[in-house]
Amino acid sequence: MPKYAKRVETLPPYVFSQFQARKKELEQNGFDIIDLGIGAPDLPTPSFIIQKMIQEANKPENHRYSPYQGCSDFKEAVAEFYEVHYNVQLDPATEILALIGSKEGIANFMSAVIDTNDTVLVPNPGYPVYQSAIHLAGGTPAYLPLDSTQNFKPNFQSVSQTDLAQSKLMLLNYPNNPTAGTVELNTLMEAVTIAKEHEIIIAHDAAYQLVTFGDYKAPSIMQVHGAKEHAVEFGSLSKSFNMTGWRIGYVVGNPELIKALATLKSNIDTGQFLPIQKAAAEALRSDLSTVKDNNNLYEKRLNLAMDGLEKLGVRANRPKGTFFLWAEVPKGFTSMEFANLLLEKAGVIVTPGSAFGSLGKDYFRLSLSVSEEQLTEALNRMGGIM
């Protein structure tokens, strides 16, 4: 029996893969499953992005290795995007790095900036990949609670002075996965103030920065004065441009931290396919009308889901961003029990809040990434067993 690294053996099971495995079993037995679990847009990539990809793929010179830090066209497009939407100036050469998706970038960033036993402040509830990446890098998590009474803002005051003094890195994520919580710029200003005082690096995961509703506009931590001294921000085209499978994202901010990540990545990968980077540049330079159309569609689904859950007696905060609903588990169930009940008895997949940390145990996450017809059917099925 071959042996493998303990760091892999001791990784916690990825709850999403567990539910997907059970989904496959049920479907093979003839069950119709509606999947509201994973945050993957069901909408197509906009045609203008696909056409740009085809155009660039037809050029033989684009089939060579990509520059390790990303092609200049993509990085310049990221800089233009930040200037237009946030009034933030970035140097494409030193303050922007192309990623093979922000998930890859965040995981590699851990290994680039923390050493064995370094403490990392991680949101609770939070995206499970944060915990896995800390584990693989040999770090130690300390929890940054998100306040359910304040739209899941980070409760900095609840973090002990010991944890603040020992922490090397703080992870933030807004608009937030899984809670769909949002913040204003003053919350990010508070984080930067704490980072300066305690010499903590901030990594802000802004994967859902363009998936917003109404008049809400998600802020960038780069808008905070002095943020570049301590922070980086991860962005992704997966959610806003329906490009999950394309695997393209970026990180911006502190040049020394960018350099550290670039050095690590240059020893691991050789960058994303050039036509994908050039198509992503086209997306970032667009008028974002396709993003607005997506958001309008998600908001219609949101209204439908909120009404449906209310009729079932299930409470959920109305979000201003992401395509998730973070709903309270009905009394008498744990989040895992409720998620299993929905899958086995109703053929509906939701994600148990316990998968996101101890403060998620009373919630479940529902994704709006299915059609209104499927969403209506899922809610009807839920009502049949509640």
pLDDT digits (tens, 9 = 90+) for 200-238: 999 999 999 999 999 999 999 999 999 999 999 999 999
Contacts of 129 (CB under 8 A, 6+ apart): 103, 106, 107
> How many domains, the chain?
2
3 state DSSP class of 217? coil
Are the CB atoms for 181 and 159 separated by under 8 Å?
Answer: no
Would you say residue 109 has pLDDT above 90? yes
Task: Supply 327's token pair.
Answer: 């709903």
Is the same domain home to 159 and 303?
Answer: no
CATH number of the domain within which 222 lies: 3.40.640.10
Would you say residue 158 has pLDDT above 80? yes
3 state DSSP class of 73? helix
- Residue ending a domain, choose from 285, 319, 338: 285
Is the same domain home to 268 and 166?
Answer: yes
Confidence of residue 96 (pLDDT cuts 50, 70, 90): very high
Is the same domain home to 331 and 300?
Answer: yes
Would you say residue 278 has pLDDT above 90? yes
The one-character DSSP state at 66 is P
Is the same domain home to 105 and 248?
Answer: yes
User: What average pLDDT does this structure show over 6-12?
Assistant: 83
Task: Supply 177's token pair.
Answer: 């996965």
Range of the domain at 159: 59-285
Is the same domain home to 269 and 297?
Answer: no
Assess if residue 352 is contained within a domain: yes
CATH number of the domain within which 375 lies: 3.90.1150.10
Residues pairing with 35 in the sheet = 349
Task: List the one residue out of 125, 161, 110 whose CA is nearest residue 265.
Answer: 110
Assess if residue 52 is contained within a domain: no
- Residue ending a domain, choose from 270, 285, 300: 285
Ranges of beta strands (E only) in 90-239 are: 96-99, 119-124, 140-147, 153-154, 167-173, 201-205, 231-236
Assess if residue 326 is contained within a domain: yes
Assess if residue 54 is contained within a domain: no
Would you say residue 76 has pLDDT above 90? yes
Would you say residue 59 has pLDDT above 80? yes
pLDDT value at position 18? 78
Are the CB atoms for 291 and 210 separated by under 8 Å?
Answer: yes
Contacts of 253 (CB under 8 A, 6+ apart): 95, 221, 222, 227, 228, 231, 232, 233
Residues pairing with 351 in the sheet = 365
pLDDT value at position 22? 85
Is the same domain home to 295 and 242?
Answer: no
User: What average pLDDT does this structure show over 367-379?
Assistant: 97
Q: How far apart are CA 125 and CA 324, in angstroms?
A: 14
CB atoms under 10 Å from CB of 35, counted, come to 20
Is the same domain home to 94 and 192?
Answer: yes
Distance of CA 275 to the CA centre of its chain: 24
Q: How far apart are CA 179 and CA 353, in angstroms?
A: 9
Assess if residue 51 is contained within a domain: no
- Residue ending a domain, choose from 260, 285, 310: 285
Assess if residue 26 is contained within a domain: yes
Is the same domain home to 219 and 71?
Answer: yes
Task: List the one residue out of 71, 50, 12, 60 whose CA is nearest residue 242.
Answer: 50
pLDDT value at position 282? 98
pLDDT value at position 221? 98
Assess if residue 180 is contained within a domain: yes
Is the same domain home to 149 and 281?
Answer: yes
- pLDDT tens digits, residue range 19-42? 888 888 988 888 899 999 988 999
Task: List the one residue out of 221, 259, 334 whose CA is nearest residue 109.
Answer: 259
pLDDT value at position 310? 97
Cα Rg of the chain, angstroms: 21
Rounded (to 5) percent helix, strand, coil in the chain: 50, 15, 35
The residue behind tokens 């060579």 is 64
Is the same domain home to 342 and 272?
Answer: no
pLDDT value at position 302? 98
End-to-end, the C-alpha distance of the chain in Å comes to 46
Task: Supply 197's token pair.
Answer: 């005082």
pLDDT value at position 8? 85
- pLDDT tens digits, residue range 179-207? 999 999 999 999 999 999 999 999 999 99
The residue behind tokens 């809610």 is 379
Task: Supply 60's token pair.
Answer: 């033989």
Q: How far apart are CA 153 and CA 151, in angstroms?
A: 6
User: What average pLDDT does this structure show over 239-255?
Assistant: 98
Assess if residue 53 is contained within a domain: no
pLDDT value at position 16? 72
Confidence of residue 7 (pLDDT cuts 50, 70, 90): confident
Q: How far apart are CA 349 and CA 37, in angstroms?
A: 5
Is the same domain home to 28 and 101?
Answer: no
Residues pairing with 145 in the sheet = 124
Q: How far apart are CA 101 and CA 251, in angstroms?
A: 10
Crossing angle, helix 255-266 and helix 102-113, to 10 degrees? 100
pLDDT value at position 39? 86
pLDDT value at position 29? 86
Is the same domain home to 209 and 150?
Answer: yes
Q: How far apart are CA 296 and CA 7, in angstroms?
A: 43
Confidence of residue 75 (pLDDT cuts 50, 70, 90): very high
Question: What does pLDDT average to over the chain?
Answer: 96
Task: List the one residue out of 120, 201, 187, 128 whose CA is nearest residue 152.
Answer: 187
- pLDDT tens digits, residue range 126-151? 999 999 999 999 999 999 999 999 99
